[in-house]
Structure 1
Amino acid sequence: MFGIYLKRELSRRKKAALVIAMGLALGIALVITVNSVSVGMTQAQDKVLKSLYGLGTDMTVTKARSAPKAGSSQGPRFQFDAKSYSKTSQSSDRVMTQGGQALKSSLVQRVAAQKGVASAVGALSLNVTKVDGSFTQGKAQSSGGGQQGGPGGSGGGQPQVQGGGANFDVNSYSVAGVDVTDQALGPLAAMKITSGKTFTSAQTDAKVAVVSTSYAKEKKYKAGSTFKISGTEYTVIGIATPDSSESTTDVYLPLKQAQSLGDAKNKVTTIYVKATDSKQIATVKKTIQSNISGTTVTTSSDLASTVSGSLSTASNLATSVGKWLSIAVLAAAFLVAALLTSSAVSRRVREFGTLKALGWPSRRVTRQVVGESVVNGLIGGGLGIALGLAAAYAVTAISPKLTAQLGSTGGGMGGGPGGGGPGQQAAKNTVEIALSAPVSVTTIALAVGLAVAGGLIAGAMGGWRASRMRPADALRSVS
């Protein structure tokens, strides 16, 4: 009886039911859209952090570079050979560690031994500044004749040097020394070899290199190409592409080779750390900082707070403005549904009064109204899910481009190899990433729950009003 009456009443009041359902649908669709975009923002931020920080890395251990002593020079210096007067080309590489003060390699084992640490590997970040060019010798010429050089002087002016000069190109790129025995953690963890191969565990001191896709394209390198750093020739064995955004490192070398180039034997600039439990990262951070003094421990959450650009702006809008907008629209949809249901009950005075006169108790009338409202809510939920999925799919299909900048965290590397130069704690790395709006099962379940809640709220108000009607009200409404 309940089902038959419910079906008949909903069919008889299609327009009213559709209006209520559409009101709920718009609110639910907005909630799904905002929620899915927020998830997409979080995933985009994670991709940025992974590309700059390293897959599987929970934190890094670095040491801030100490202030230079008074009178010391931190500027670049280049020394050429004795043929500086000739027209032949000159070339010089200046290799410097970057991103923080160098740490002893033995510190890697100390960090790995701390409670809560699953594994730790060291890496060395270098900056290579290459200067190529040539000097041209000038020629001395007299500045004229026949003129007196002054009282007691003789003719002929002072000789002047004309012509000559120098023409040099300066190229700077970043190099990361990688522990080839554990590449799942560290600078190469966020990279995928798309051409050639990566290092083997036996190539701890081999003169081989992996270069990023962008750097290989710029220099026209491919697997098998060779290049020199400070006179040492390296063979490119692989081209690496970042899993997302852009790479902040141009060249990857075995750690020992990087230490040799940077005159940093048994030194690292960054220690990449993987925690045994991702929920205990904050505790592990405190443990390392308390047991190993003078170091700076940077977690992914620390880096997340430094992400700026359009990604950060859009994320703030989605999580703050979008959240409150969704709540406001949803509350308005619930209120409109409740008012429309209550209004519909008012127009059914004769019907409910007659049913009570025929013996229907108030609870049965209330149940009937609530049942109709819940069905309206479910219909609205279905429409809302469809609209929300369509909106999320549109965002994913359009894939708007967002930019993200990872700034300084106040100590050490900040963004991993490639971040920061001499005298800097971290450099800003700008990356571009496409936004998607994935819809999870949890979001769908939330939508269904909101649909049922909206129907119950509307039904409760309408049912309360219907339960207060008396059979006499039906008789008074008969014309």
Structure 2
Amino acid sequence: MFFTYLRRELRRRRKAALVVASGLALGIALVIIVSSVSSGMSKAQDKVLESLYGLGTDMTVTKAAAAPGSTGERPRFNFDAKGDDSKQSSDRVMVQGFQTLSSTTVDKVDKQSGVADAVGGLSLNVLKVDGQFKRGEFKQNGNAGSGGQRGFGGGNSQPQGEVRGGGASFDVNSYTVYGTDVTKQDLGPLTSSKITKGRTFKTTETDAEVAVVDASYAKQKKLAVGKTVTISGTKFTIVGVSTADSGDAAANLYIPLKQAQTLADSKNKVTTVYVKAADSQQIDSVKSAIQKNISGTTVTTSADLADTVSGSLSTASDLASSVGKWLSIAVLIAAFLVAGLLTSSAVSRRVREFGTLKALGWKSGRVTRQVVGEALVNGLMGGVLGIAVGLGGAYIVTAISPTLTAQLGGSGGGAGRMGGAGGGMFGGPGRQSASKALDIALTAPVSLSIILIAVGLAVAGGLIAGAFGGWRASRLRPADALRRVE
């Protein structure tokens, strides 16, 4: 009897039911779209951060760069003096971005409570100058006589003419090199790239003269697996080519850490310690422990670096998390209120109906359950419609994939200033490109939790509307219906 009456009433009041369901659907769809877009922006931001420090890294430990000019050391290039025309080449390997830390710092960090793993890396910048000196040719003037012009005191004649041609042509090439601990390759910047050709390092190649080259740099310099690249007189065989998952690669070349330390004359030194926390909820406490127990270091978490992200990605993320969410909540509350008021108004128009039912023996509780049941079905209909519209909106956003830009290292806070002169953000290995804008395609993934929230909102909307109508129906008396009988 309950379901039969419910079905007939909903069919008889299709327009009113559609209005209530549509209002709830609008609020639920907006919640789904905003939540999915916010989730997509969060993933896009994570992708930007991972392009700098790699997968699995929760924080980095560094030592701030020395003040400019404090060392007084400037790059010097020495060339051999040769009598004939010859090609000259000289390069200089320099530590990039930060002051170096002792390799023992890695062990100290690894022993801190809450640290799952720690690995050190050395960021280098190589400045190479190569070119050729050319000797000029001396040519006499055409009017020079055999005797020439004598000098004072009747000395020998001096040739009249000029030196033509000659000079020097040199090319300056700068590129970044990252020394990686080949025994722990699951942590650090190299994890933000995938090996697309060849292989990665073997754990036994701790001091081998091998290298992995970034795909963009390899294309620019026409490098490939099996070829060699020379760094400060040492030839490295390329064993693999890596491609960055997003944005620019962390470095142009990756070599074993020991080789990098040898090239930079920085034995047992690192510039950055990459740290993985045992529990993501303990990152702040791990950061505090490292800063307290290891003096002279700066600890930067992914949250610190996220604050330095600017560009349209940051702007859109702020809008979605503030304006979008508040707008969703406001629309949802309005939809609930409208559904409740419409249901209550419908009950008022059905005074004769409910009064008659009570006169026939229906209890107030049964009338209330009937009204709540109708409102709950309306809410579920609105939930189904809202989920469909929300999924459609999220699909459209993903299909269009609007491109957002993310820029790091502008006028950000402490993490942004740590890059130093060309240093990498978040301890990254010398990323001069860190100030460049990275293009990120936005997606709007819909998770199961969002769907469950939508279903919960639909049920809640139906119950709220039913509560309004049920309260109004429970106050009706059979006498009210009899007064309206003509």
> In 2, distance between residues paired with 1:283 and 1:162?
71
CA distance in 1, matches of 2:43, 2:480: 59
Other-structure match for 1:440? 447
Pick aligned residue for 1:174 from 170, 176, 182: 176
Contact 1:54–1:416 (CA under 8 A) maintained in structure 2: no
- The answer to whether the 8 A contact 1:144-1:156 is kept is no
| 1:251 shift after superposition | 0.4
8 Å contact kept, 2:125–2:430: no
Q: Quick one: distance in 1 between partners of 2:428 and 2:177?
A: 8
Task: Measure how far apart 1:370 and its partner are.
Answer: 1.2
Task: State how far apart, in whole Å, the 1-side matches of 2:11 and 2:369 are.
Answer: 18
* Number of aligned residues: 469
Output the CA distance in 2 between the equivalents of 1:267 and 1:218. Answer: 31
Which letter does structure 1 place at the counterpart of 2:453?
Answer: L
* Partner-residue secondary structure (3-state), 1:204: coil
Distance in structure 2 (CA, Å) of the matches to 1:260 and 1:213: 25
**Gap regions ≥5 residues in structure 1:** none
1:456 aligns with 2:463: yes
The alpha-carbon distance between structure 1 residues 63 and 385, as it changes in their structure 2 partners (threshold 3 A), is same
Aligned-pair distance for 1:136?
Answer: 3.5
Corresponding residue of 1:89? 87
Change (3 A) 1:466 1:139: same
Corresponding residue of 2:225: 223
Paired position in structure 2 for 1:371: 373
> Aligned residue for 2:15?
15
Q: CA deviation at 1:144?
A: 11
In percent, how many aligned pairs have the same letter? 67
**Is the Cα contact below 8 Å between 2:215 and 2:243 reproduced in 1?**
yes
2:35 maps to what in 1? 35
Comparing 392-401 and 442-451, the one that deviates more? 392-401
Contact 2:176 2:430 in 1 (8 A): no
Letter in 1 for 2:374: E
SS in structure 2 opposite 1:415?
A: helix
**Which residues of 2 match residues 321-336 of structure 1 at below 5 A?**
321-336=323-338
Give the equivalent residue in structure 1 for 2:77.
78
- Counterpart in the other structure of 2:485: 478
Q: For 2:386, which of 367, 384, 387 is the aligned residue?
A: 384
How far residue 138 of structure 1 moved from its aligned partner, in angstroms, is 4.5
SS at match of 1:308: coil
RMSD between superposed Cα atoms in Å: 2.7
User: In 2, Cα distance between the equivalents of 1:363 and 1:86?
Assistant: 109
Distance 1:359 1:381 in 2: 34
Partner residue in 1 for 2:429: 418
Q: Is the contact made by 2:115 and 2:275 (CA closer than 8 Å) also made in structure 1?
A: yes
* Contact preservation (8 Å) 1:34, 1:326: yes
**1:328-349: CA deviations, max 9, x gaps?**
1111211221222122222212
After TM superposition, give the deviation of residue 240 of structure 1 in Å. Answer: 1.2
Determine whether 1:126 maps to 2:124.
yes
> Matches of 1:52 and 1:420 in 2, distance apart?
8
Change (3 A) 1:342 1:89: same
Residue 468 to residue 158, structure 1, CA distance change in 2 (3 Å): farther
Residues 1:134 and 1:23: Cα distance change in structure 2 (over 3 Å): same
Q: 1:414: Cα distance to partner?
A: 2.7
Say whether the 8 Å CA contact 1:366–1:463 is kept in structure 2.
yes
Q: TM-score, normalised by structure 1?
A: 0.91
| Corresponding residue for residue 236 of structure 2 | 234
Q: Is the 8 A contact 1:145 1:156 kept in 2?
A: no
Aligned to 1:338: 340
- Does structure 2 conserve the Cα–Cα contact (< 8 Å) formed by 1:419 and 1:429? no
- CA–CA separation in structure 2 for the residues paired with 1:94 and 1:257: 15
Give the structure 2 partner of residue 253 of structure 1.
255
Match of 2:412 in 1: none
- 1:8-37 deviations in Å (ceiling 9; x for gaps): 100111121111111111110010010011
Distance in 2, matches of 1:122 and 1:391, equals: 45
The offset of 1:178, in angstroms, is: 0.7
1:150-165 to 2 correspondences below 5 Å: 163-165=165-167
- 1:102 match: 100
Q: 1:145 to 1:102 in 2, by over 3 A?
A: farther
Structure-2 separation of matches of 1:322 and 1:157: 85
SS for the counterpart of 1:175 is strand
Please report how far the alpha carbon of residue 415 of structure 1 lies from its aligned counterpart in structure 2 after TM superposition: 3.3
Q: Which moved more, 1:468-477 or 1:246-255?
A: 468-477
Cα 1:474/1:209, change in 2 over 3 Å: same
What secondary structure sits across from 1:47 in the alignment? helix
In terms of mean alpha carbon deviation, does 354-363 or 98-107 score higher? 354-363
Equivalent position SS for 2:358: helix
The question of whether the paired residues in 1 share the 8 Å contact of 2:33 and 2:394 is answered with yes
TM-score normalised over the length of structure 2: 0.89
TM superposition shift of 1:87? 4.3
Q: Which range is displaced more, 168-177 or 461-470? A: 461-470
Task: For 1:418, give the aligned amino acid.
Answer: P
